[in-house]
Every structure is written in structure tokens, then in C-alpha cells.
Amino acid sequence: MWPLQDITIYYQGGELYDAPDSPFGKIIRFIADFYHNKLNGYKPPKTARICIHFAKENPYKEPIYFGAICLYGNRIDEDKYRRLEYKQQLTYILDLLHSTVMELADKKGWDRKVFENAYQNIVSNDFKFLKFYPIKLSRDRRYSAQAFIEKTEDKSFLNLLLTHNQTSRQIQIVEKRNWYWFDSIYALGADCKWIDKHSFGYIDKKANKHVFYSITDDEVISNIVFENNF
């Protein structure tokens, strides 16, 4: 069963500017991506995408489906949002998204606990977006490495936690633009592995693409150029 592909917030009309590079646009995309990620692969029945529309007046009295795409909405108080400080704006958008999705859960019989856990995880971690992948031992079992990603509204980072003789160090191997739910950083993190006894990271031999940390050379080796790519 495929997981839920994404949760996307759309904004309709009004005084706020929601272009991808605008402050408001970055916040709504960051929060939607964060919330979706913390569902840990949960897929509501017969639902591949959730599209939430914020507007001055709620455009949806009931959820609407186009195939497996679920559309629903809620009212956003634009004046209130503009008066808030940055962290309060994050909280306001998260609360609005969460309350909207919980309404959907009640209407469609989804597992409320999954969404409650996602909300609490974000709040308890003070909006710090981290995702950890499994720890992997080197072939000679002398080292362990764990890939993890960190995301802000603007940037995505792929990091490694390398441990040897009970001493750990963190190495950043990728810094790129955040493309939210569509971001390639997820695939890079999930596919990190030991390439040889002393190199850990991502390699795609068919595409001749790689980014990894070499213990021997103590450097990051990469031939991937992201620029505006995902």
C-alpha cells in the first residue's frame, strides 16, 4: 500500500501573498510538509493526497474527492496572522491545519491518534524538523553511521552521524533548497549506505551520481549539482 503522497495547503484570495518564495508561502509549505512527514507513512483509506484550502471564508462545507485527492478547507484570519510574530505564525498555521485535518478525520473515519501524534511531535520539538534513518554498521563493523535530514523553510540538509569507538561526529553532506514534500532530500537520506569500508552516503551507479563522506580522506565527495533541481 502506497503512503499518503502529500498534504498541501492552498491559499485563496485575500491580503496574504503565497508565492513559493514569499514568507507566507514558505511557512504554509513548510508546515504542511512537516505535518505530513510526522504521520510516519499513515494513509487514510482511499486517499492519496490531501489538499487544504485556506480562505477568508471556508469554501468547503464537506470534503470533496477527485479520484483519490481529498479537498477540504478552513477560514484563515488574515489580520490576526499578520499581527503575529514569526513563531506565533508557525503555531497559527499548524493549529489551523491540524484542526482542519481533524475535522476530516471525524467526517471520514480516519485514525485521529496518528494526526494527534504528528501535531504533538512538531510542538514538543519546537518546530525543529528532523528525520532520522536507520543506523547502519560498516562492513568491518568498526563504524556506525546514521543519515538524517534537517529542514527549514528555505533549506534542506542531509547529515551523517558517524560513530567510532563510542565517539560521534556530525557531518553535513548536502545543503540545498527546500522543495517541501517533493524534495529529493528524502530519497537521498533513505538510500544512504556504506559504499565501501570507509565511505558512507548516497550512490546511484546507473545515473553516475554520488554524494558521500570519505573517512579516509576526511571530506565530502560529490558530483551532484542541485541548483534549482529538486
Distance between CA atoms of residues 50 and 163, nearest Å: 39
Is-contact 130 146, C-beta < 8 A? no
Residues whose CB falls within 8 Å of the CB of residue 144, separated by 6 or more in sequence, listed in order: 135, 136, 137, 138, 162, 163, 164
Instruction: Please name which of 49, 52, 38, 51 lies closest in space to residue 5, comparing C-alpha atoms.
Output: 49
Q: Where are the domains of the chain?
A: 6-124, 129-222
Distance CA 54, CA 97 (A): 9
Nearest to 45 by CA among 128, 107, 135, 89: 107
Per-residue pLDDT of the chain (230 residues; tens, 9 = 90+): 567 999 999 998 777 877 778 999 999 999 999 999 999 999 999 999 999 999 988 889 899 999 999 999 999 999 999 999 999 999 999 999 999 999 999 999 999 999 999 999 999 999 999 999 999 999 999 999 999 999 999 999 999 999 999 999 999 999 999 999 999 999 999 999 999 999 999 999 999 999 999 999 999 999 999 876 66
User: Nearest CA to 188 among 134, 149, 137?
Assistant: 149
Query: Residue 96 contacts by C-beta under 8 Å, 6 or more apart in sequence?
Result: 54, 74, 76
